[in-house]
Structure 1
């Protein structure tokens, strides 16, 4: 089984089927994923908590792995979360990247990036186009 297929299957279990144990099956016990929360590597338990926090904000998401590149023990992929806001049932689609090193079927290290700005904008928790004023370098008074 390709690493991308392993990741897709475990994401489906964890996110869509609400099986938190899937994260423990995906991550080696000593593995940690960096990049989602600055300065806080996420092991399986922290990743389960992150999923639960996101699922409190949206309907059960479907995660698709759109494009992947595999080389040796490494997998790089672009993922997209397809879901809806709980409060308005409005579609929400947000992308992110995962780069992971596998040992057999388990991730032993991972680096992630997720578009939290768009995610929180679409939830109404940040103003629309938040990134544009940030790029000006001007601070709010």
Structure 2
């Protein structure tokens, strides 16, 4: 079974407006554990609430999977996220990577890392000029 197309489906169908809750149920097991959205794993229902909040804050968000690599039941991916922030109107673009494990064509676990500092800097929530200074990489 090829699982990489399911990663594309996840981002195309789940991260769209209007929200497609049916796609979450179709692509993810009820007891799946998603790691990376918060500091602790989230369940399907917790994910749904977080996704709805993020879609409200970033109404034109688009997540494009640019690379995948599949081995067995696991797919590694890189994606680019674009859109704008509802409050500030500021546009953004940042990347993320992840590992998604499948069983019976459903997501059972994911581990993702997204450039949240880059997002916050682009929407004006973090002083972008201070980042190199704070990190000592001027």
Q: TM-score range by the shorter chain?
A: 0.7 to 0.9
Are positions 1:71 and 2:75 aligned together?
no
Q: Please list every run of at least 4 consecutive aligned residues from structure 1 whose deviation after the TM superposition is greater than 3 angstroms.
A: 87-90
> What do you get for the CA RMSD once the two structures are aligned?
1.9
Shift of 1:68: 0.7
Which residue number in structure 1 is paired with residue 22 of structure 2? 21
Q: 1:89 to 1:26 in 2, by over 3 A?
A: same
CA distance in 2, matches of 1:123, 1:20: 27
Retained in 2: the 8 A contact 1:64–1:79? Answer: yes
Q: Secondary structure at the match of 2:6?
A: helix
- More off after superposition, 56-65 vs 105-114: 56-65
CA distance in 1, matches of 2:129, 2:69: 31
Unaligned runs of 5+ in 2: none
Shift of 1:134: 4.0
Q: Secondary structure at the match of 1:28?
A: strand
Aligned length: 135
Shift of 1:110: 1.1
TM-score (norm 2): 0.85
Q: Secondary structure at the match of 1:69?
A: strand
CA distance in 1, matches of 2:101, 2:56: 29
